[in-house]
Structure 1
Amino acid sequence: PQLNAAALAMETFLFLSAFPTVFSSSLVHHELVANYSHLFWVKGSQPELVPYMLLAHIDVVPASESDGWEAPPFSAKEIDGFIYGRGTIDDKNNLMGILQALEYLLLKGYAPRRGFYIGLGHDEEISGLNGATNIVRILKQRGVQLLFVMDECLPILDGIIPAIEGPAALIGLSEKGQAVIKLSVSVAPGHSSMPPRETSIGILATAVKRILERKPVSNAFVRTTTAVTFFNAGVKINVIPSLAEAYVNLRIHSAQSVQEVLDIIKDTVGDQRVKVELVNGFDPLPISGADDKAFGFQIIKKTVLDLFPTVTVAPAICIGNTDSRHFVDLTKNIYRFSPAWFKPGDFERFHGINERISTKNYEEMIVFYFNLIQNCDIRKLPEPHSSVHEL
């Protein structure tokens, strides 16, 4: 508790020091949620306009300098035009970009017409079950409904998708679901000197192999969404184990449900000796609008193209999960996009070694949010941008 209190005090001090205008403005109401998450309400001058919400998260995955970082992973050291550090692309870049943009707007005397919320969760990397869910609970208690929500996820991909010439800004309309499925086989134990024709390990290994290789469609599906993450069997070198278990983690496409995937696995395994159980999971998120009437999508698209006019803009599916999945009761329109540029080699830095962002790109992210907040003040959607290309 003492360490947590000290961390909270340091974080609050850093926020106050970095964004004094945000915390002193009469337009901004700030509150702590679940001790470590932050909820901001920026009051609009026209309360009849439905508010929107920008999300980011404070927490990061672990990192150690001994892993081979070129700079200490929590130093934010600049090397050759790049800021190195854990969180620079997940998700301190969006968090700092949002707050810095708001700081600049308030310093310029800007007062938004459309009010908006900023939610900064503290446990997104472990599913947001304390931070984001409590932010949602508070907003529900206050009867808040949102025009749209924008969170992290898909970046601007440059030179990564072979079928697209030039960079592509992908706006996530949905997120894949997730499930953990347990496969187990129970047989009579025995001595390794007299092995039976089939052991629990052999039966289970065959079942796993069927899941991975049955046909090209499912093989492609597995390569992108499935991983056998845990395989357990045996307690002694000369004893044939009576129980073998494997756990499979699936990221489920929006066209399917948890139950459908579970049924596919049972049919694919096709062996009554293999018990297939759902450990936990949730279905893919609803698909948000992307047509000419979808305010959030069109505003994000306009903001992207105003800043990056040569970029291809297209809807997509977020393959991971974000805090935004907890907000489905507050809006039908949730978008996942980060104005961060990913070039070849950058995906390996995501949750990996030498995570970094260029100083130029970080400045662009601030400008993006600076423009986005102002663009959201319009009452009517803009005309379709002439530079838009659809995949």
Structure 2
Amino acid sequence: GTYIWGRGTLDDKAAMISILEAVEKLLSENYQPERTVYLAFGHDEEISGLKGAAVIAAALKERGVEAEFVIDEGYAVTIGMVPLIDKPVALIGTSEKGYLSVSMTVEMEGGHSAYPAAESAIIVLNRALKNIVDNPMKAKISRPVDDFIRYIGPEMPFYARAIFANKWLFKGVILKIYAGGSNSNALVRTTTAPTIFNAGFKDNVVPTKAEAVVNFRILPGETSNDVIEHLKKVIADNRVVIKELEGRKEPAPDSPINVPGFDVIHKTIRQVYPEALVAPTMMIAASDSRKYTGVSSNIYNFAPIMVTSEDLARTHGLNERNKIEDYKRGIGFFYQLIKNCDN
């Protein structure tokens, strides 16, 4: 066959099994690394990592471990996903956006739908949601995105190179370009996504209560408090009660790209995927790698898988799959990475 099918073949069992197969191969060759390599596999990354990565990181810190770098799942070798770039692009996450969900509740008098009031809980809450969606937080070029532009800029068509090479002059144009797409927009601003709405129970009754949940992915350089203050400002209605929900994560610290840890990952990608460009960038999604900040200040997100937009749509969905040849290259990546750490 051509593919390995099943949940986790892309996210994230492929990376874990690739690590184990790479180590098994090195052991079969009696390879003895000069530097200590820790393999850490949490079991609850999808639900915050509090009992997995957090506990592992605490144990390592208690033992006095100071890691040169940490590499975790996250980005991959992308195909046809970076605008204006024809080659595959291997993306290394050097920071992560923060995470915040808030509930918004409005309670007002209800009544019979035959003689409705001019405003109701649903109308007021709907207006508040429209205000926050229509007035997003300001677009900005953060340091990880600035690094990304510097790395891929030379590979762009001439007209784009001229724009991206002169950010001081064309910053507004660049932000407009990125803000124009749903994926690229997430790189330059704190995103706003209403995810839950509850109100009413009967078609002829105006409800007394309406509730919604809105999720924000916070841009590095901003905080959850900034988001809350922005919400209050654009809603400007005291009838809307805003409450922060559990699970808040502030943006993860930026990891440097001028250190040996980044260099060895970059070098290994170039060896295993010579056809790909390599660029640092910001993680839009969240992982549990931030739990390791007490163990290392150099935390990077990259998994040796090759993905298209179609593949991403399969992740956490139907027909998730990984090419067998790509999986083998993933094993080769971790095999070579461990060896390169000794060099």
TM-score by length of 2: 0.82
Whose strand proportion is higher, 1 or 2?
Answer: 1
* Structure 1 residue aligned with 2:7: 86
- Cα–Cα, structure 1 residues 205 and 220, in superposed 2: closer, same or farther, change >3 Å? farther
Secondary structure of the 2:210 match is strand
**Number of aligned positions between the proteins:** 297
**Structure 1 residues 241-320: aligned runs within 5 Å:** 241-280=207-246, 281-291=248-258, 294-320=259-285
Provide the C-alpha distance between the structure 1 equivalents of 2:221 and 2:278, rounded to a whole number of angstroms.
22
Read off the aligned partner of 2:315 and give its amino acid letter: F
Provide the C-alpha distance between the structure 2 equivalents of 1:234 and 1:359, rounded to a whole number of angstroms.
50
Which of 322, 338, 348 pairs up with 2:303? 338
Q: Please report how far the alpha carbon of residue 214 of structure 1 lies from its aligned counterpart in structure 2 after TM superposition.
A: 3.0
> Are positions 1:148 and 2:148 aligned together?
no
Secondary structure of the 1:228 match is strand
- Cα–Cα, structure 1 residues 367 and 336, in superposed 2: closer, same or farther, change >3 Å? same
Which of 3, 10, 29 pairs up with 1:108? 29
Q: Please report how far the alpha carbon of residue 231 of structure 1 lies from its aligned counterpart in structure 2 after TM superposition.
A: 0.6
**Structure 1 residues 59-138: aligned runs within 5 Å:** 79=1, 81-138=2-59
- Cα–Cα, structure 1 residues 297 and 330, in superposed 2: closer, same or farther, change >3 Å? same
Read off the aligned partner of 2:10 and give its amino acid letter: I
* Range 183-192 or range 329-338, more displaced: 183-192
- Cα–Cα, structure 1 residues 187 and 344, in superposed 2: closer, same or farther, change >3 Å? closer
**2:94–2:255 CA contact under 8 A, matched in 1:** yes
Q: Please report how far the alpha carbon of residue 221 of structure 1 lies from its aligned counterpart in structure 2 after TM superposition.
A: 9.7
Provide the C-alpha distance between the structure 1 equivalents of 2:67 and 2:286, rounded to a whole number of angstroms.
20
Provide the C-alpha distance between the structure 2 equivalents of 1:352 and 1:270, rounded to a whole number of angstroms.
39
* Structure 1 residue aligned with 2:317: 352
Q: Please report how far the alpha carbon of residue 334 of structure 1 lies from its aligned counterpart in structure 2 after TM superposition.
A: 0.4
* Range 206-215 or range 162-171, more displaced: 206-215
Provide the C-alpha distance between the structure 2 equivalents of 1:348 and 1:221, rounded to a whole number of angstroms.
17
> Are positions 1:161 and 2:82 aligned together?
yes
* Structure 2 residue aligned with 1:208: 129
Provide the C-alpha distance between the structure 2 equivalents of 1:138 and 1:339, rounded to a whole number of angstroms.
27
**2:136–2:192 CA contact under 8 A, matched in 1:** no
User: Structure 2: which 5+ residue stretches go unaligned?
Assistant: 140-178
Q: Please report how far the alpha carbon of residue 230 of structure 1 lies from its aligned counterpart in structure 2 after TM superposition.
A: 0.9
Q: Deviations over 1:119-158 (max 9, x none)?
A: 0111111111111122122212212221110000101111
User: Structure 1: which 5+ residue stretches go unaligned?
Assistant: 1-78, 379-391
Q: Deviations over 1:227-249 (max 9, x none)?
A: 21111112333322221111001
* Structure 1 residue aligned with 2:152: none
Q: Please report how far the alpha carbon of residue 194 of structure 1 lies from its aligned counterpart in structure 2 after TM superposition.
A: 2.1
Provide the C-alpha distance between the structure 1 equivalents of 2:68 and 2:257, rounded to a whole number of angstroms.
14
Secondary structure of the 1:346 match is helix
TM-score by length of 1: 0.73
Q: What is the CA RMSD across the aligned residues, in angstroms?
A: 1.8
Q: Deviations over 1:336-360 (max 9, x none)?
A: 0011111241111111111111111
Q: Deviations over 1:61-82 (max 9, x none)?
A: xxxxxxxxxxxxxxxxxx4x11
Greater relative CO, 1 or 2 (CA 8 Å, sep 6+): 2
Q: Please report how far the alpha carbon of residue 277 of structure 1 lies from its aligned counterpart in structure 2 after TM superposition.
A: 1.9
Secondary structure of the 1:120 match is coil
Which of 328, 337, 343 pairs up with 2:293? 328
* Structure 2 residue aligned with 1:367: 332
Provide the C-alpha distance between the structure 2 equivalents of 1:284 and 1:221, rounded to a whole number of angstroms.
22
Q: Deviations over 1:355-391 (max 9, x none)?
A: 111111011011110100010112xxxxxxxxxxxxx
Q: Please report how far the alpha carbon of residue 216 of structure 1 lies from its aligned counterpart in structure 2 after TM superposition.
A: 9.5
Q: Deviations over 1:180-203 (max 9, x none)?
A: 111111112322222110111001
Identity %: 41
* Structure 2 residue aligned with 1:231: 197
